[in-house]
């Protein structure tokens, strides 16, 4: 795992309700446009969920990156799986190690929970996929087809 220290002035912490607008603008950069009420409710639910965690990187009150991770026991694995659900860094703050720092935090949480698997589903069309962001951090592609109904 690549470990990186944070640039001066940027702090990592668990998300709080006041971070919702900042996280929303990063979600929009990811290409999603949820209804604002539904977004706020879901953000609060995930941030408070006992089997999830949301981390933010903030410069003062400005949210410059966020990561959401969830975890649950899986019968066939005989243990807990952790899933990186969302990860985004403000492009103005990109390539300074912030994404790696957030990812390291999620991996530390997963290891602390003794997760037997850590995974992420990401779009092949994303720049981060073609540039090998996750591969660089040791992830390997699984022979899994992701099926969707809605």
Ligand X SMILES: CC(C)(COP(=O)(O)OP(=O)(O)OC[C@H]1O[C@@H](n2cnc3c(N)ncnc32)[C@H](O)[C@@H]1OP(=O)(O)O)[C@@H](O)C(=O)NCCC(=O)NCCS
Footprint of ligand X (CB under 6 A): 30, 87-89, 94-100, 122, 126-128, 131, 133, 136
Question: Which residue number, 2 or 79, has a Cβ lying nearer to ligand X?
Answer: 2
Instruction: Please say which residue, 34 or 94, places its beta carbon nearer to ligand X.
Output: 94
Residue nearest to ligand X (CB): 99
Q: Residue 51's closest CA among 66, 39, 38, 69?
A: 69
d(CA 26, CA 11): 17
3-state secondary structure string, 17-85? Answer: HHHHHHHHHHHHHCCCCCCHHHHHHHHHHHHHCCCEEEEEEEECCEEEEEEEEEEEEEHHHCEEEEEEE
Shortest distance (Å) from residue 141 CB to ligand X:
14
Closest approach, Cβ 3 to ligand X, in A, equals 11
Structure token digits, residue 101: 């720092």
Which of 35/127 has CB closer to ligand X?
Answer: 127
Looking at beta carbons only, is 22 or 99 nearer to ligand X? Answer: 99
Q: Which helix (H) or strand (E) holds 10?
A: strand 10-14
For residue 116, the minimal CB distance to ligand X (Å) is 22
The least distance separating ligand X from the CB of residue 118, rounded to whole angstroms, comes to 14
Q: Name residue 53's beta-bridge partners.
A: 69
């Amino acid at each position: 795992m690549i470990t990186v220290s944070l640039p001066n002035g940027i702090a990592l912490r668990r998300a709080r309700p006041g971070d919702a607008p900042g996280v929303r603008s990063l979600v929009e950069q990811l290409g999603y446009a949820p209804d604002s009420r539904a977004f706020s409710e879901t953000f609060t639910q995930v941030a408070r969920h006992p089997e999830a965690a949301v981390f933010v990187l903030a410069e003062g009150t400005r949210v410059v990156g966020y990561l959401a991770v969830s975890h649950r026991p899986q019968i066939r694995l005989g243990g807990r799986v952790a899933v990186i659900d969302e990860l985004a860094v403000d492009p103005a703050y990109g390539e300074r190690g912030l994404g790696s720092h957030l990812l390291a935090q999620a991996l530390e949480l997963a290891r602390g929970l003794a997760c037997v698997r850590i995974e992420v589903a990401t779009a092949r069309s994303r720049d981060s996929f073609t540039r090998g962001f996750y591969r660089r951090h040791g992830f390997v592609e699984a022979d899994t087809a992701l099926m969707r109904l809605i």
